[in-house]
Each structure stands twice: as structure tokens, then as C-alpha cells.
Structure 1
């Protein structure tokens, strides 16, 4: 027995030692790779100093003046000097929490006293909550005050509003609240400057799949894209007295409720998008059916007449001063019967019925995922942007009533010319989403994304995947543009595969299908964001486009010289959309309008970040959750903004978007801090604006954009 016990213990010791050796070997391997990379960077740094300005530009390295360059760190054979192995290892190895662990942490947080009831915190009174003991939030005010983090320096962003702060004691600026204004003495009514929120009754209808879309369904029916089985079932229900649930001005109309088909983004191709030979004859067959059945035409006319009482486009507060942006066109309603019997059998609304938008010469801020949020768009508006567009929203999620997706449609009153961008794979989902947005939101135009390169979008048949399916593109644009009277625009890439551009062959068709404008990103889907945009091809497409279609270019606009070049070389081009250039330096709009290179100081850049933080607190809230949400999106923005190199530090101006920045020192400590590519330094900047980060705080950028033409970009 003793011998067996000794043998077992020896085997356990051996296994443990082997495991420790394996872990140590993996750590050494990671350290060695990091050291090799660091040594390679040092070599490149030494070589870079010896290159001329022209050679640096040829290698896409920013030509920073020599006096601002950082000296290369000391090298050693064993890697011990200049490189801390422990720090490298700690930076490489990050703890990844499981979903179960994250759920457990959320549950523990909800039981904490910091998870205070919003009504109790706002009123400062336990009896303010109508749910009482049934409330799932904490009502312990004293425990909350003890555990609440210290207030942040600054003033409450809601001081300019009438009434008390909506977050009360939970506000991280509660020490600056006005004492004379209390929840008991004045009922708080927040005069919000944001619109396009999701109403609860609308959300419930979407959840229950009882929202009706009469305009979209009519157009889909005429196009032959409506699911016939669903239509028959709806007609049976209607004849049996099962009235569909409607919303708004459509409540008195006779319509068809499609039930589950409202959010059928996964419908088979045969149901929603037939093969090419069938689609070529869809239009004629559909119109022929309508001509032989006048009763159905009368039904369509009733629906159109009921839906003609649309709410005013845009905000009442935005009408003043916007005469130069909106084209003043007289709307003329054409009788429905006459319209469907036109010889060209086109389903798009007559141009005189569209409220046209003139994009020519306007500074257009591109829709930017994650970073193009409402506070960032407000910053760009203050710096000179003319047109803004919300982040891309998925049609399926909008039709399911997801609050997080509807938040992407929010609009601020300062956005006097605002559009939303949607993305969908099938005509039915896009058309219904367009009708829903037109009914519930105040927007000036609706943009359909047909160029998104993200895998999760492309694999569902949306985004740039549509570039390989021109007939489905046709059905989506036709059904969407005929459903609403607002301008429908399209954003595309040059093609799906590199070297196989195809938009030039579709540019005339896109206009005939009903689009008012098209934005062409000068890269293929396969390129993502690598290599320079092909502006020669954009010019080619702009020259082929009919006069009725406005063409905008997109890609690598990073200075007013880039803007001037594109507008002068191709007069047929209406404007250039500005995307990543605005993330790195949002004052590019000011530079274009004032026709100058702005050598902006670090203090001025910090003031812009302060404006973003204030706008973020107004948008996401001034409590702890709102502060940390604002911090998160600020850090996401800083993961792009650090790439800016001040004008005064460059040997050659302007900076190009594909230039890699060397390690350099700024003209002051703040400028040096803003130039750091370390996430730890970005956190330091956020602490200057939003106070200390919570314990255990970590940040990793959501987007790893291939901004530079490096080896890993292919």
C-alpha cells in the first residue's frame, strides 16, 4: 500500500511539473514573439530615420519632422533591456469571461444597493415608486448614498432643462443640482431635443406581429413578391371578421395582415426573390392581373387615399433656415388607376411627388457603425457637416421592435438634414421597414446599404452580397421607393470581387428603379478597407449616370485638397461622402468650408472631446450607467482619433489616410498623450473628462479597421 501511494504521488508530481513546463513554454513563446516584433519595429525605426521624405511617403510612412521623433529604445541580445517581459505577457494574455459568469455578475449587480430605482432616485423618496415592494430595483436610499461613487468634476448636463435632473440622486453631478428645484415642487418635464423614439404601443404591435403595412404590401403585390399563401390566409381571416390591428391613419383602411411574414427575413429565395427568368416577366403579369380585376385596383386606391395624410417631413423647429437645403417642389397626386395603367408600367412614384434633396456641394457625414452615434454627429454638425446619417440598422430587427436597433434612428434637432440607413436581404422586409420608418420617424431621406462588407451581414444575403444579385437589388429599390414619398438613396461598393467592378453597368438601372441618389465607395467587398479607393472608376460611373440620379463618391477624403480634387476632376459628381476622415479629425468639415489646413492645438482637440462627453451624458444619461456608456463610445472614437498627426509636425502636408504614423512626441504633454496607440492612454484621456474608471475596468476596441495598406490586409 505504501509503495502504491508513493508511486501515485510521484505520478501526480510529474504531471504537475509537465503542466507547469507547458505553461511556461507557452509564456516564453508569447514573450519571444513580442520581443521579435519589438526588435523588428526598432530596426524599422532606425531605417526610417535614415530615409528621405520622398522615400518615407513611398513606403506610406508619415514624414514627421526629425525633432519630434522618439529615439528608438535600447536593444539587447537577451531582450532584457528596454522590454519588460512581464508587461508584454500581461498585455497579451487577457481574461475572457464566460456568458455564465457575465450573467452571474449582472444578477449580483441587480441585488446591489447601487441598482437603485429610478423613480426613488429622482424624487429622493421611497414612496415615489408605484410598484412598492414588488419593484425589482433597490429602494435603500441610505445604502445607495454610502456605496455611490464620488461625483465627477463639472456641472450636471441637465441644468439648462426645466425642472430637476431626471436622474436625481443617481446623477454623478448631483452636488451641482439646484436646491430650489425639487421633484415635489415641480413636476419634471424634459424638453428633449431628440426625436424618433420607439413608442410602446408600436413596439407591442411589432412584438405580437400585428403591425400592418398596407403601402408596402400593395407594392409587393403588384411586383409579384408577396407570399401568396400568407395573402390567402389573411383574406380568410378578414372575411371571417378577424380585423387586422393597424396603426396611425391606416386604421380605417381595408388592408391585408400578413402575420408572421412581417419579419420573414429568412424566407426562401423562391418565395421572395424568384430566379431571373421569372423576375423579368413579373411586372407585366402583375399589371395584367390588376387590369382584369378592377375591384382590386379600387382597394389599392382606397389605401393610397387614406395614407395620403402623412405627417410633415422634418422637424417644425428645423424649417427655418433650411430653404437652401431642401428643394422646393410642388407635390402633385396622380390618380391611382391612371398610374398603374401607364404604358411603361413603372412602379416608382412620379418625380413630381418626390421631395427632392440636393446633395450637390454638401458636406455629407457617412453612416458609421458604432462611432457614428448621435453625440458624435452633433460634434460634426458644430464643426460644419451639412448632411448626417444614422448608423446602419437591420430591417429585421426594426420589424421585431428591438429597442437597441431603433435607438440608431434617433435624431437631434441640430441635424437639419438627416437620413437613416437600413440594411435588408429581401424586398418584403426592406419595403415594410421603409414604410414603418416613414410612419413613425421624422427623416428627410432613407438610405439602403448595399455595400456593407461585414461577414455576418453578407452571409445573410444583405449588404454587398446584393451586388451579385442585380434582380434582387431591383426589387428592393423598386418596392422601397414606391412605398414612400421620401427620397430613397443607395450606398454600394464597386463590386463584390476585386478587379470585377459592375456598378457602371447598373448605374442607369438604379435611377430607373427609383433611387434619388447613389453613393459609390471606391473599393470592392473583397478589399474591405485596404488599398486606396478607385476614384477613376467613381468618375466613370458618375459620367454614365442619368441626370436624374445624383452620384456621390466615398473613400480616402482626408483634407480640403482631396475634396477639391474630386469635385474639380468630375463635375458630374454631386459630392464626396466623408467617413473615416471624420473619425480621425472631425474638423475636416471646417477645413473644407474654410479651405485651409487647421493646425489644431491639443487644447482645442480636448474641447471637442469635452463637447462629445457632454452630448453623450445628455443622450445616454448622467448616472453611473450613462457615464460608463459615454466613456465606452469615447474610447471607441479615440481608437481612431489617435491616428491624427498635427499639421505643425509634418514635413509634407496634408496627412494621407493610408500613412502609418511613427512614434513621435507632441508639442506638449497632452498632444503626446493623444498620439499614443495604447488603450491605457486612451483611458487616461477619458478620466480627464469623465472621472476615474471603475475597478477592474478594461477596454478593447470593437473595430480593428484595416486603415493602412499593410501586409495583413492582403
Structure 2
């Protein structure tokens, strides 16, 4: 029986049905989940958020209702906590300054008695390709109730293993990994000082923003003098242009006047726009005033030498720090945090500032920022540069996000049609960031059939100083509905290189993006288009090991057990980032399930008749080469929760995972632009 075009060519012995899975509307679901419920522009509940973060009641049009059909709009995520809450200070062995007024208990014994049993993460050697897939080992010999410690001695805490101590102390769900019972029968915490000292330089996350800095940002007291000076320059230039324009309107010379006299239009008839000056935060007295540094010359900016390096795209929801660590382990050289909104950074949003966190294993790390005007982006860039001083390799401007609620604020791909404003943004951010380079990610244009990037891209470097460019091979209107246009990407690369040669400019790295799913895809597209590399988004979501394939120029028929090892590692990375207490465990579970909602789409190479696999091919129902491979291919979200329980213990009774897409099937990446 002939299968429809675009069907994955699975070998007959693995087919369960000839019916091809339905293609979900990923464009409708894209951006439907945010990490901040009230301040992000992409919302779940049918309300539109303004760039300032406020809610605006919105009645959906017929077209908008249609576009929302592919999304589970009602997704809600709440922190799961212990039934009895132990004060975090007491849990860490400290004294609580609130004493009896503390809202949480200080009774460690009562807390440990009510606390759920420790979670056991199975060792790699305990993983199997047959059910139940993990071996828990033998139970301890029976012990008298009074002899049994209030923790599991077989438990191993990933946070303690990596850092030498666990910041959650008694609240840790893996307490047995860093606790013992002393001679008085009291549970005490263990610290490995040697491991702690090593971890301080190799494992401690960077760019952690403290409460005092956030307070200064929220109260507009965090200094950004370079941005202020630049915005004043822009304001002065704007006022000069307006004055010049006004004078032209007021003084109109009439050629046929007696005695050569001029007549003027009365000034009262001229409409003059009163432009308010930009708002600036109050500064302390002159003795404490932070003044702008001497601007760097373009030649003093750090050069980006990215040719031949692999680049993981900034990804919504899934592209968090634990996932980036996984991709780095597989060979990703350049990583970038999720898109953050300039206005939310300026408001001191704790969630937004969490996006700048970096793990030391990320050798080249950048922050992506979106905004609509210099008054937002330039100050935000200066503050980011100061907060992340020394731990930031580049700042990327998002000029590609296609989501309506971003586009309508003038951000994302809307900047493609505002070249002069974009130029002012790049120049200002370059000044504000000192030697940290500014890069730009963009699409081919806004409207389908009207590509404009070949005109814009040469200006980004030559006129405004962008240090690297990434071009996604689709227009904003196309979203992900058509294949990326790599022939046009080549046209844009040629245009940039031609201007660089004409003006004797140092070449900047140019990366392409779109439909890269295999080593063969990657290297063919690099050769075809002349790009320095490809920013990988969807391919990394479905198979994070694509970076190994690219580096080694091969297609990897990864085994189901190797994939389970990757999931186990993700769980450990998640616990280190989100925490090993009850709330952290279930936050890790949520993001692990988000990752599995993409990874289940991978069709193992050993099941295909034709190699390599293609990203947009939809598979018929199939079974794997073993039980585990079949489970990992399940599109049932309950199976993703089951997989999470292998490493994170049983999910809470009322906890469930709602996929982002109503239809769990092959689809498109959740990349921001």
C-alpha cells in the first residue's frame, strides 16, 4: 500500500498501522506558554499582555479563535509543596530571625516524620531496555521503627554530588545523600568541603542576580549613564529635526511678491508636536554620580570567531539551563538563553532575570532580548552588561519572533520594517555594552513573497556594528508552514560579503536557520549557502544529540538505553537548577515532560528504510526494537509522566502534565524567530 507523500519510510516489520499521524498546528500553539504568568506578552488565558506587563481584556476575533485551536490555552502550573513546610533557614542549619512569628514550622522532627520518603535516582548501570526499565535494588533488612533513620541511606543527592553541599538541607527529597544520625540521635547535615571548593569554580551557576540589584532596578536606581547620554543625544537630534521641519512649514516663500517681500504662514496655524523628554531615573549627588565610560572604538569590540562552531537556538520553555547543559554535553559550542523582554528586565522581574543564568560548561553564552525602541533596549542592555559583567559573550536582538502579541508591540519581526529604528537600537546597545558584541537574529521579511533581508543585512554590520547575524529562512507570515528558503539565505550571505569586501570590513559570522535535522542536512546547507554555521532549533528539541552528529559528520542510530541515560542526566541537571526540594522536583518534572513532548517525535534511524530521517516526515504508528524504544515513541503525555517517575519518584496525586499542543504529533520547533 502506497503511503502519502511526507510519510516516514519505516520498515514494514515495525509498522503497527498504515495510518499517518495528524500534523498539529504548532503555529497556533507557539508561544502559548510563558514562564511568567502576568508579565509576558504570550498568554494562556485569552488575555493579551501589553509590553508594559499589564492585562488588557481582549475579545478574540474569528481568525484569532481559529489560530488558538492548536494550543492548550488553559495550562496552569502551580508549585507543589510539602504538607508540612519547614523553615528554609532551619532546614539549612541556620537560626531564623523571625522565631515564633515564622509562618513555617521549626520542628525538624515533626517535619521529617511527615515528609514523603526519599527519592532514589537509579544508577546508569540499573537502566534496562525491558520493563520496568530501572532496577531499584534490594530492600534493606527489616529494622525496628526506632532504629530506622528519617531518611533513606541509599539515596544520592545530585545537588550534593555536584556542589559538595545541598542548599535545601532537611527539605531535600534526597536527604539520605547528605545526612547522618549523630550520637544524640539527631539528624545532621554533611558538607564535603573539598568538593565544595572545586564546585565553586566549575559548577556554580553564573549571572545570579541578588535581591539588592533587583530592588535597585525596580526602583529605577540602578545606574545606566551611557544609555542616558545616548538617549539624550537621540532626543536632541529628534528635536533638531522637528525644529528644522517646523521652520520649513512656517517660512514659506511666495515668489511673486511686490518688492521681493516674503509672506509667512501665521505660526498659530502650524501644528507643533510637543515631544516629552525621555524619563530618566533620579541620580544620587554628584560625588556618587556614575558617568559614562569613554566609548569603545569599533575595532576594540570583541570579535566573534564562530566559523565551524555549533549553535543552539534560544528556545521558548524548553531551552532552559538544564536543556542547554544536555546540548553542550552533546557538542553545542554556542548557547543563548530564552528571549527576554526589555521592559520586564527594566521592571526587575525576577523571572525575566532568571533567563541570564549561565552554567560554567557553556563556553560561549549570550542573552537574547526583545523590545520595540531604543528607550527600552539600550538601558536594559547596559544593566544586563553590568549585572553579568565578565560572564556574557554577546547580546542578541530578536528581530524574528513572529508571534502576534510580540509583533503588534513593534518588537520581534516588526523591527524588520523599521530599519532606522533598528539601527539606533544597535548603535546604542553597542555603546551601552562596552566590549560585549551585539548580534541580530532575523527572518527573511515580514510578508510572504516580499523578502527584505538582503537589503537590511549588509547595513547591520557596515553601518551599525552588528557583530554576527543569524537568518531564519522564512518570513514572519510563513511562521513554520513552509520549508526554509536556503537559496535566499545564500543571496543574503553574498550581499553581506560583497559590502564587506567593497568597504574593506572585517567579515562577521553569518548563521542560517531552518529545517536542519541531520548531519547531512547541516553540512549540505552550509556548503550550499556559504553560511559559517547553522543555528539549530527544532532538530535539537527532537534529538539533542544532533550536535554529536554534526561534529562527527555521521548519523547516530542512538539506542533507547542511551536516550534513557540522557533523560536521567536531564533530571539531575534540573534538580541542580530548580532545586531538590518538593517544589524543585516537580518543577524539574514539568520541564522534563516539556522536553519529552518533543523528543518522542524522534523516529530511530534503525527503523527507517531511507536515511537520514527527515524532520517534516510524519510516521505511521510503529513499535520500537524493544519495549523501551516503544515507550519513548509514545505520544501519550501520561507516558511522559511515567518516564519522569523513574528518576523523580511518584508524581503527586493531583499533578498532571498538559502538553502544549492539543494534538501530540510531528510538528515544528518552538523557537523564537
TM-score of Structure 1 vs Structure 2, range by shorter chain:
0.7 to 0.9
For 1:556, the equivalent position in structure 2 comes to: 515
Alignment length, in residue pairs?
A: 526
> Is the contact between residue 359 and residue 550 of structure 1 (CA under 8 Å) also seen in structure 2?
yes
* 1:700 counterpart = 2:647: no
Which of 301, 315, 320 is equivalent to 1:373?
Answer: 320
| 1:448–1:559 distance in 2 versus 1, CA, 3 Å | same
Which of 474, 491, 494 is equivalent to 1:523?
Answer: 474
Q: CA-to-partner distance for each residue in 1:271-312, whole Å, 9 max, x for gaps?
A: xxxxxxxxxxxxxxxxxxxxxxxxxxxxxxxx324xxxxxxx
* 1:243 counterpart = 2:289: no
* 1:509 counterpart = 2:478: no
Q: CA deviation at 1:429?
A: 1.0
For 2:15, the equivalent position in structure 1 comes to: 69
Q: CA-to-partner distance for each residue in 1:471-526, whole Å, 9 max, x for gaps?
A: 22222112112322211000001111111111111111111211111100011111
| 1:232–1:507 distance in 2 versus 1, CA, 3 Å | closer
For 1:538, the equivalent position in structure 2 comes to: 489
Query: 1:279-358 residue pairs with structure 2 within 5 A?
Result: 303-305=292-294, 349-358=296-305
Which of 378, 382, 385 is equivalent to 1:435?
Answer: 382
> Is the contact between residue 17 and residue 620 of structure 2 (CA under 8 Å) also seen in structure 1?
no
| 1:360–1:198 distance in 2 versus 1, CA, 3 Å | same
Deviating more after overlay: 211-220 vs 652-661: 211-220
For 2:572, the equivalent position in structure 1 comes to: 614
Task: Tell me the distance in 1 between the aligned counterparts of 2:451 and 2:319.
Answer: 28
> Is the contact between residue 92 and residue 169 of structure 2 (CA under 8 Å) also seen in structure 1?
yes
Task: Tell me the distance in 2 between the aligned counterparts of 1:97 and 1:368.
Answer: 21
Q: Which has the higher helix share?
A: 1
Which of 226, 244, 257 is equivalent to 1:215?
Answer: 226
> Is the contact between residue 530 and residue 706 of structure 1 (CA under 8 Å) also seen in structure 2?
no
| 1:96–1:362 distance in 2 versus 1, CA, 3 Å | closer
| 1:707–1:676 distance in 2 versus 1, CA, 3 Å | closer
| 1:95–1:417 distance in 2 versus 1, CA, 3 Å | closer
* 1:454 counterpart = 2:403: yes
TM-score (norm. length: structure 2): 0.73
| 1:478–1:139 distance in 2 versus 1, CA, 3 Å | same
Q: CA-to-partner distance for each residue in 1:374-428, whole Å, 9 max, x for gaps?
A: 1111111111111111111111111111111111110001011111111111111
> Is the contact between residue 178 and residue 189 of structure 2 (CA under 8 Å) also seen in structure 1?
no
Task: Tell me the distance in 2 between the aligned counterparts of 1:630 and 1:553.
Answer: 32
Task: Tell me the distance in 2 between the aligned counterparts of 1:168 and 1:254.
Answer: 41
Task: Tell me the distance in 2 between the aligned counterparts of 1:479 and 1:440.
Answer: 18
SS in structure 2 opposite 1:492?
strand
Deviating more after overlay: 577-586 vs 138-147: 138-147
| 1:506–1:233 distance in 2 versus 1, CA, 3 Å | closer
Q: CA deviation at 1:227?
A: 9.5
> Is the contact between residue 617 and residue 626 of structure 1 (CA under 8 Å) also seen in structure 2?
yes
For 1:445, the equivalent position in structure 2 comes to: 394
Task: Tell me the distance in 1 between the aligned counterparts of 2:548 and 2:280.
Answer: 55
Unaligned 5+ runs, structure 2: 20-68, 122-155, 240-274, 501-506, 669-673
Q: CA deviation at 1:95?
A: 12
SS in structure 1 opposite 2:383?
helix
SS in structure 2 opposite 1:391?
coil
| 1:232–1:141 distance in 2 versus 1, CA, 3 Å | closer
Q: What CA RMSD, in Å, does the superposition of the two structures yield over aligned residues?
A: 3.0
For 1:679, the equivalent position in structure 2 comes to: 637
> Is the contact between residue 117 and residue 137 of structure 1 (CA under 8 Å) also seen in structure 2?
yes
Task: Tell me the distance in 2 between the aligned counterparts of 1:185 and 1:386.
Answer: 33
Q: CA deviation at 1:175?
A: 2.1
| 1:185–1:362 distance in 2 versus 1, CA, 3 Å | closer
| 1:233–1:588 distance in 2 versus 1, CA, 3 Å | closer
For 1:145, the equivalent position in structure 2 comes to: 112
Task: Tell me the distance in 2 between the aligned counterparts of 1:232 and 1:522.
Answer: 37
| 1:226–1:426 distance in 2 versus 1, CA, 3 Å | farther
Deviating more after overlay: 694-703 vs 578-587: 694-703
* 1:495 counterpart = 2:445: yes
> Is the contact between residue 163 and residue 204 of structure 2 (CA under 8 Å) also seen in structure 1?
no
Structure 1 or 2, whichever has the larger Rg, is 1
> Is the contact between residue 113 and residue 144 of structure 1 (CA under 8 Å) also seen in structure 2?
no
Which of 343, 359, 365 is equivalent to 1:396?
Answer: 343
* 1:569 counterpart = 2:516: no
| 1:650–1:577 distance in 2 versus 1, CA, 3 Å | same
Unaligned 5+ runs, structure 1: 1-49, 74-91, 245-250, 256-302, 306-335, 337-348, 710-714
Q: CA deviation at 1:186?
A: 8.8
Task: Tell me the distance in 1 between the aligned counterparts of 2:341 and 2:540.
Answer: 24
For 1:635, the equivalent position in structure 2 comes to: 593
Task: Tell me the distance in 1 between the aligned counterparts of 2:163 and 2:332.
Answer: 30
For 2:308, the equivalent position in structure 1 comes to: 361
SS in structure 2 opposite 1:421?
strand
Between 1 and 2, higher relative CO (CA 8 Å, sep ≥ 6) is seen in 2
> Is the contact between residue 313 and residue 537 of structure 2 (CA under 8 Å) also seen in structure 1?
yes
TM-score (norm. length: structure 1): 0.69
SS in structure 2 opposite 1:449?
strand
| 1:580–1:626 distance in 2 versus 1, CA, 3 Å | same
Q: CA-to-partner distance for each residue in 1:52-97, whole Å, 9 max, x for gaps?
A: xxx65xx111010000011479xxxxxxxxxxxxxxxxxx9x9998
For 1:415, the equivalent position in structure 2 comes to: 362
For 1:285, the equivalent position in structure 2 comes to: none
